[in-house]
Amino acid sequence: MPPPLTFNVTQFRAALDALDNAALGRLQAVARLYAMRTGGRLSPNELLNEAVKRSLEGTRKWSHGVSVEQHLIGAIRSLASHASGTQAALCGPLAEETRDDTAPFDEEETDRVQIDVSRLYSYFEERDDVDAVLVLDELQCRKNMGEIRNSLTLDVTALETIMKRIRRTAVRLGLSQDRRTR
């Protein structure tokens, strides 16, 4: 496991300030999706804010060889995972945890936890987007991409197009969720 990076507040601030538009756009989109994953318990802004705070407090270790963007995504994922999958998150404030960027994910938890996508369903149902609803149905049955293609007789490009549509909508809904919580 690589050792954690040693940095001060000024260096961390400079690293964030140096992020380009693409990295910042990815971070924002990821935060919106993970906010949806928390079922509204945390907004995208809260996730971004908390990821920075934990990095500076040292409860989220920044590993050597990991970009600041990837480090923050890891922190956001970890926060969202806690908020969506643990009793602690349901009953009170986020559990304090010390992790680093190379800590493996809890595969069992990822399998067990279910994400509420009712808002996505409603959005596509209201627009009669049958393809998107069917893909969401398949996802709900825990099928992977290959199984969904076979089941709906879609080619790779067609499924990717639908998945993009679903993802973009989720990013947009994630944004509106954040505006509601401000």
Residues that bind other proteins (CB under 8 A): 9, 12-13, 16-17, 19-22, 24-30, 33-34, 37, 45, 48-49, 52-53, 56-57, 70, 72-73, 77, 81, 84-85, 109-118, 120-122, 125, 136, 139-140, 142, 144-145, 163-164, 166-168, 170-172, 175
CA 136, 144, 160, 169 torsion-angle sign: positive
Beta-carbon contacts of residue 177 (< 8 Å; ≥ 6 apart): 32, 35, 36, 40, 43, 44
Of the pair 27, 94, the CB lying nearest other proteins is at: 27
Which one-letter amino acid corresponds to residue 87?
Q
Distance from C-alpha of 174 to C-alpha of 114, rounded to nearest angstrom: 17
Distance from C-alpha of 67 to C-alpha of 75, rounded to nearest angstrom: 12
Cβ 13 to other proteins shortest distance, Å: 5
Cβ 102 to other proteins shortest distance, Å: 16
Cβ 49 to other proteins shortest distance, Å: 5
